[in-house]
Structure 1
Amino acid sequence: MVTLKDIAEKTNLSVTTVSRVVNFNDTSICSEESQKLIWSLVESMNYKVKNKKPKPSKDGDTQGGYKLAYVLGQSSYAAQGSYGYHIIKGIESETVKSGSSISFNCLNLDLYKPEELCDRLLESGVHAVVWVAGTEEEYLNMLKNKHIQVTVAGIEPSYFPEHVDYVGVDFYPETLKWLKTKFVNQFERVGYIGPTYSSRYEAFVDANKILDKKVDPAFIVAHDEWDAGAAKTAMSAYLEGNNQLPEAFFAASDIIAIGAMNAFRDHGIQVPEKVKILGFDNNEMAAYLTPGLTTIGVPTFEIGVMAVQAAISRLKEDRGFPVRYILPTRFVERQTL
């Protein structure tokens, strides 16, 4: 099967250049002579054009739809399952609804170096990528250099380039709002479990400051992982080394809260009688725990839907500038708080 890479090798041009000519009819990226050579090779090598950009009809709708991709950029969110799953479910649902298609997906970024990922996207004829979680600068810079459009969806970005669209929640103010009104103000002694580099931890510290309460370092269970096993291990070590508990813990995610609750159970500590706990994101498992986990809910499915809408809007050239769609969170009351 002939690929763009095969054509690029015969022309001494990059895969990106060949893709822009073949898939996007880009006449500015190389000379007219090079374009003629590329098209002659496309014909003589029987290459099937995968990414002929859809043309708008008279009523403005796009005929044939766009080819989209999604990339889960942080493996820990794959382990969390529910959070990334519901964003992806929203992406797939809206893509089909819009008459477009998913031409490529990546649930394990470790499989690809930045250039390899871009080559796969170009080979798949992708018009735009929805990037879920773990925004790595090297990858996003490479995507920009390869002229691949990106929309970042739903996860607190570690790197956030100005040229991309973003659809998600504003993590710090949303967390601060609920911690001030539903958590820190309810108790004299509160603790935290999770990564301390997260804006959720910053919001926890600031909520205490705003309410004139001190953060007790003895009640901070810090660990860098976002999975239940690491949270259980960290909380178990904490419980074995401390005789005193706070009245309640704020967990940086529901998965972390679930790990902590497992540690409480193993040490004979009842929730919420002996210690209370608040989660974050409203993982679908949270409602099925005993007791049910009180949490701050993130509209993950809607984030996926709006990410696709944003990507298609940019592709249709409805606008030539990046947008930020910030969705509200909600407080989900169950039995752990």
Structure 2
Amino acid sequence: MNERFCGRQVESRRISMVTLKDIAKKTNLSVTTVSRVVNFNDTSVCSEETQKLIWSLVESMNYKVKGKKSVAAEKPQTAYKLAYVLGLSSYASQGSYGYHIIKGIESEAVKKGIPIAFNCLDLDLYKPSELCDKLEELGVDAIIWVAGTNPDYFNKLKSKNIQVTIAGIEPKLIPDYVDYVGIDFYADTLGWLKTKLVSRFEKTAFIGSKTSSRFQAFVDAHKLLGKELRPEFIIEHEDWEIESAKSAMTAFLERSEELPEAVFAASDLIAIGSMHAFREKGIQLPEQVKILGFDNNEMGGYLSPGLTTISVPTFEIGVMAVQAAISKLREEREFPIRYILPTNYVERQSL
């Protein structure tokens, strides 16, 4: 009698020890997918047939479903509303850095059936309070912020409990309570500059913002390689427009007594403007001056010479930003996340 009783106790323990991992193994699915179906009743992660299989295993294996989740967790993800804004209007031009992030955002939102209730390509149209009022009026749950940052907007959004996911902006500009999806601007730039630019030339120039991580990487690459940093070859330029970059490079060429061997531009649009300035001054590229861009704007491949650049996975950043926003809305985590994606080197004829 005791042996039977003990045997039942052992069997009872075995049954209670069934986990989602056991169910996932039998279905050849990830634990995350099974968890979303079982614990969150998420019908978007797999087919109806697969969901039936999961629930049949839950029953046959006597898996004990955890207690009810919060209202937010139980809410179907298609019921959420998203928005996105561009903090810099210049990022709206076709083929630009921000344009491809937006394509990723819209593609993933459509794929998941999540409505984008609001978008803004020129943030100057809205004061912080006006933007928040508009989002509240439309029932927006989360906003994806592309390019440019302003604490006034973020503080107002936080007070209204509208979740923020920042996509593609340098991390040092990001509040610690929001999600970030992007790249490591400093480390990746430093690595590419050391191996592809500064190590190869003695006279290298920089054009772009001196407050950016890209400039700091340019400075540190010289220090680490023991190369001289020429202050006269640093062209401070805060804008990201082609025309203004052309003007800044033209001014540099008119005052400079010698040419650099190579130039690192903080963005492809700045590089393109600089290339126009060189041509107008009769300077041959890449014979007299070589140039390296940043972000892999699609126009770069159609120039002559083609623009060598550091490629940023902008479309993927947009996709991951949507995924991050939804996971936070569904309360699958309580902490902010940082998704850091890798960059690549695209070699063309300009360098």
Regarding TM over 0.5, the answer is: yes
1:334 and 2:348 equivalent?
yes
- Give the SS at the match of 1:177: helix
Measure how far apart 1:118 and its partner are. Answer: 0.3
- Give the SS at the match of 1:186: coil
TM-score (norm 2): 0.78
Deviations 1:209-254 (A, max 9, x none): 0000111012112122111111111111111122311110000100
172, 175, 183: which one aligns with 2:186: 172
Asked if the contact 1:131/1:152 (under 8 Å) is kept, the reply is yes
Measure how far apart 1:161 and its partner are. Answer: 1.1
41, 59, 79: which one aligns with 1:58: 41
- Which blocks of at least 5 consecutive residues in structure 1 are unaligned? 1-55
Match in the other structure for 1:214: 228
245, 251, 256: which one aligns with 1:237: 251
CA 190–63 in structure 1, closer or farther in 2 if over 3 Å, else same: closer
- Once residues 263 and 161 of structure 1 are traced to their aligned partners in structure 2, the CA distance between those partners, rounded to angstroms, is 38
- Give the SS at the match of 2:293: strand
Larger CA Rg, structure 1 vs 2: 2
- Once residues 270 and 182 of structure 1 are traced to their aligned partners in structure 2, the CA distance between those partners, rounded to angstroms, is 21
Match in the other structure for 1:122: 136
- Once residues 288 and 300 of structure 2 are traced to their aligned partners in structure 1, the CA distance between those partners, rounded to angstroms, is 19
TM-score (norm 1): 0.81
- Once residues 181 and 172 of structure 2 are traced to their aligned partners in structure 1, the CA distance between those partners, rounded to angstroms, is 15
67, 70, 78: which one aligns with 2:92: 78
CA 80–59 in structure 1, closer or farther in 2 if over 3 Å, else same: closer
Number of paired residues? 282
Match in the other structure for 2:279: 265
Measure how far apart 1:163 and its partner are. Answer: 1.1
- Once residues 123 and 180 of structure 1 are traced to their aligned partners in structure 2, the CA distance between those partners, rounded to angstroms, is 50
The one-letter amino acid of 2:197's match is F
Match in the other structure for 1:311: 325
150, 156, 159: which one aligns with 1:142: 156
- Which blocks of at least 5 consecutive residues in structure 2 are unaligned? 1-38, 45-75
Deviations 1:96-135 (A, max 9, x none): 1111110000111111110110010011111110011112
233, 251, 256: which one aligns with 2:270: 256
Question: What is the alpha-carbon root mean square deviation over aligned residues?
Answer: 1.5
The one-letter amino acid of 1:264's match is F
- Once residues 254 and 93 of structure 2 are traced to their aligned partners in structure 1, the CA distance between those partners, rounded to angstroms, is 27
Asked if the contact 1:72/1:107 (under 8 Å) is kept, the reply is yes
Measure how far apart 1:267 and its partner are. Answer: 0.6
Structure 1 or 2: more helix by fraction: 2
- Give the SS at the match of 1:167: strand
The one-letter amino acid of 2:41's match is K
CA 224–63 in structure 1, closer or farther in 2 if over 3 Å, else same: closer
CA 317–118 in structure 1, closer or farther in 2 if over 3 Å, else same: same
Match in the other structure for 1:275: 289
Asked if the contact 1:137/1:159 (under 8 Å) is kept, the reply is no
CA 108–90 in structure 1, closer or farther in 2 if over 3 Å, else same: same
- Once residues 278 and 43 of structure 2 are traced to their aligned partners in structure 1, the CA distance between those partners, rounded to angstroms, is 58
Match in the other structure for 1:25: none
Measure how far apart 1:65 and its partner are. Answer: 3.7
The one-letter amino acid of 1:86's match is H
